[in-house]
Amino acid sequence: MSQSSQTVRPDPGSRSRPPARGRRTSTGVFAGIRVGSIGGVEISLDYSWFIIFFLILGTFAGVVFPAQAPGVDRFGYLLMGFIGAALFFISLLLHELAHAFMAIRRGIGVEGITLFIFGGMARTERDASTPGDEFIIAVVGPLASLALAALFYGIAWAGSAGGAPLAVTVVAEYLGFLNLLLVIFNMLPGFPLDGGRILRAGLWKATGSMRKGTGIATGIGRGLGWGLIGLGLFSLLVGGALIGGLWLVFIGWFLGHAARASYQQVLLQEMLAPLTAGRTMTPNPETVPPDLPLEELVQSYFLQRPFNSFPVTEDGVPLGMVTLGQIKAMPRSEWAGKVTADVMTPMERVVVVDPDTPMIDVIRKMQRAEVRRALVARDWELLGIISNTDLARWIERMTLVEEDRA
């Protein structure tokens, strides 16, 4: 749950009318490759997932299962490793689906789930609005993993009692152990782990402040991250555990980074909470007609004004938006006979918001559509434009106010 971008200056340009929106659902740092959806929740694989999948497959097939089930041939160990790795990641996916489905039940939109090198991440559209929601959404993940641990241990026990092949019981028992380990690790009280989220919910309830709860929980998360880095370096330098030590260092670094980013996100949301699109926008942007030749568009607009984009309108009705980047993407030799309408972004691909839309929602829409600007409009009337520069200017002002208060 986290992301960002940039622009050149308060931009005049871009569209109007409330119905249009962005194009993709899987965006952000861990967007990945979409592989399907379950219950309306999109599932994606980050590119780093392929690295960890084959590392786990190799560890299972080459180290873990040969030690626990001697006498199986090489193909058998490879098959055990593949099944074990696949079921392990299915377990991670079910853990994240528990979070996602509970969030949906609590009225929080879920953009999708991404599996990546350090596990899984359910990307929600916003944080929980109450400590109770935060607690229940956080706790269902470990409960799902605990249920899976019991299931796999039960399969191992029943298989042993019923005379099932050793390969089956070994894989099931090890998956039970891994899911139990997942519960223990996730319940550590450091944000953004599930235990840290549960701690934040309790602190939020006790203090009445999400910001305070997040500050304490993320502080513990950063401390936990440094602890894992220290343990990893000790294992690496003293214990000689190269792979295990490096793995702990990477996990510790990721946890500390995620905790810091999570707190900054909460501060940003708190600062932006009172802002709406109407307050943040640059009003009355200059527009261009759709039949304007490209040469004139460049000479009379882009080279004469300090803007990188313009809304395209006809008789006051917005039709789309044209940017300097679109012009630069077309060779100059092809400009002859071309007009603005030939290169502009049509309205259905433009982010358009009402002036009363909270800025938090505007930012989410811009991130989802992977654009740097949004138009502010009402009833087909273009009122203004919001660029990353407008947003940065407001954040800078509010940060100065916060510093003065402190």
Catalytic residues: 96
312 token code pair: 């395209």
Beta strand pairing call for 381-387 and 373-378: antiparallel
Tell which residue, 356, 353, 200, has the closest CA to residue 266. Answer: 200
Q: Copy the structure tokens of residue 239.
A: 């214990």
* Eight-state DSSP code of residue 385: E
Structure tokens at 198: 């549960």
Q: Please name the residues in contact with 330: beta carbons below 8 A apart, sequence gap of 6 or more.
A: 294, 338, 343
Say which DSSP state 37 is in.
E
Per the CB < 8 A criterion, the answer to whether 321 and 344 are in contact is yes
Please, what is the Cα angle at 124 between 133 and 115, to 5 degrees? 120
Q: Return the SS3 of 342.
A: helix
Residue 354 token pair: 């009402």
